[in-house]
Amino acid sequence: MFLVNGAGKHCIDVTDRGLQYGDGLFETLEVVQGKPLLFDLHLQRLLAGCSKLLIPQPNLELLTAEALAICSDAEHAVLKIIITRGCGGRGYRQPDPVMPTRLLSRHPYPQYPDRFYHEGIVARFCQHPLSINPLLAGIKHLNRLDQVLARAEWQDDAVQEGLMLDCEGYLVEGTMSNLFWIKHHTVYTPAIERAGINGILRQWLLTYLDRAGINVVIERFLPESLLAADQVFVTNSVIGIWPVRQLNDQLFSVGPLIRELQAAYQDVRCGAQR
């Protein structure tokens, strides 16, 4: 199910700068009982991204109406919103005026086995590094070749996520998730000032941890820090919170703090159902 600038169709103009240059950004949301989760946080990030990329802000009322309409009869689904700089001529110079393209699509919720949530997943390190650019870091933009190439490193369904380092060898995130670990009751997650995505679950989680008075350290880490962890988990808006039970050959336990975080986020999901 696709809506392009409000019209139900399955194609987009070939001159759209989303295609020509990856010139745009996107959001991916879990939909529960017709309601996109943490919708306000996603809209805030979308607006912040538009601002950084100098793309005119979409009409939020219209975008919200379309998002709710496309999801209204979905019990459990994924909503993807793409905003591009719209159509333009050949060349990097922006069209004048910019008329952004708004693309909403609804997808079936992936059929993940319950054990990913309860027992945890298997992860690996990827060889392909993340590009470094402080000016693009954090933004969920459409330039995603790094993730595509990292995800292409394994076909084995026994591995659910790949962890990525930046070009200088610092840990950043998973191909589709943010990365956290726990050591001695402190939560660690890599800084995303030079590479990486400012995930909505990451934002939600950092707020939760702050309110709960749990110590959090956000900085640049080498892989060694992660390998010395007691527990590891990854987050994104579709999977929620998945423990990592195995990273390469190393096993990790799933302790009470991860269970507490999962339960707290489950409350958010159930709140959407009421």
For a copy of itself, which is the closer residue by CB, 64 or 143? Answer: 143
Return the residue of 18, 196, 240, 243 that touches a copy of itself, per CB under 8 A.
18
Interface characters, 180-199, with a copy of itself (x: CB under 8 A): --------------x-----
Q: Measured from the CB of residue 222, what is the shortest distance to a copy of itself in angstroms?
A: 18
Whole-angstrom distance, CA of residue 133 vs CA of residue 122: 29
- Set 30, 66, 173, 235: catalytic member: 173
34: contact with a copy of itself by CB under 8 A: no
- What is the DSSP secondary structure assignment for residue 143, as one 8-state letter? -
53: contact with a copy of itself by CB under 8 A: yes
For a copy of itself, which is the closer residue by CB, 9 or 76? Answer: 9
Helices 39-53 and 200-211: crossing angle, nearest 10°?
120
258-266: long-range contacts, CB 8 A cutoff, minimum separation 24:
258/182, 258/231, 258/233, 261/205, 261/208, 261/233, 262/117, 264/208, 265/201, 265/204, 265/205, 265/240, 265/241, 266/240
For a copy of itself, which is the closer residue by CB, 83 or 244? Answer: 83
Q: Cβ(166)–Cβ(132) under 8 Å? A: yes
Cis, bond preceding 97 (omega within 30 deg of 0): yes
28: contact with a copy of itself by CB under 8 A: yes
140 annotated active-site: yes
Q: Cβ(151)–Cβ(128) under 8 Å? A: no
8: contact with a copy of itself by CB under 8 A: no
Whole-angstrom distance, CA of residue 62 vs CA of residue 73: 19
For a copy of itself, which is the closer residue by CB, 109 or 117? Answer: 109
Site for a copy of itself in 157-176 (CB under 8 A): 167, 175-176
For a copy of itself, which is the closer residue by CB, 84 or 231? Answer: 84
- Set 27, 101, 140, 161: catalytic member: 140
Would you call 197 helix, strand, or coil by DSSP? Answer: strand
Size of the site for a copy of itself (CB under 8 A): 61
Residue 110 token pair: 């992936």
Q: Which residues contact 157 (CB under 8 A, 6 or more apart)?
A: none
Return the residue of 5, 6, 7, 10 that touches a copy of itself, per CB under 8 A.
10
Q: Measured from the CB of residue 184, what is the shortest distance to a copy of itself in angstroms?
A: 34
19: contact with a copy of itself by CB under 8 A: yes
Site for a copy of itself in 94-153 (CB under 8 A): 94, 103, 105, 107, 110, 128-136, 141-152
Alpha carbon separation from 137 to 26, 74, 200, 256 (Å, rounded): 14, 33, 14, 32
9 annotated active-site: no
Q: Tell me the residue type at 125.
A: F
30 annotated active-site: no
Whole-angstrom distance, CA of residue 187 vs CA of residue 235: 13
Which residues are designated catalytic? 28, 140, 173
Q: Which residues here bind a copy of itself, judged by CB under 8 A?
A: 2, 4, 9-23, 26, 28, 53-54, 78, 80, 82, 84-85, 89-94, 103, 105, 107, 110, 128-136, 141-152, 167, 175-176, 194
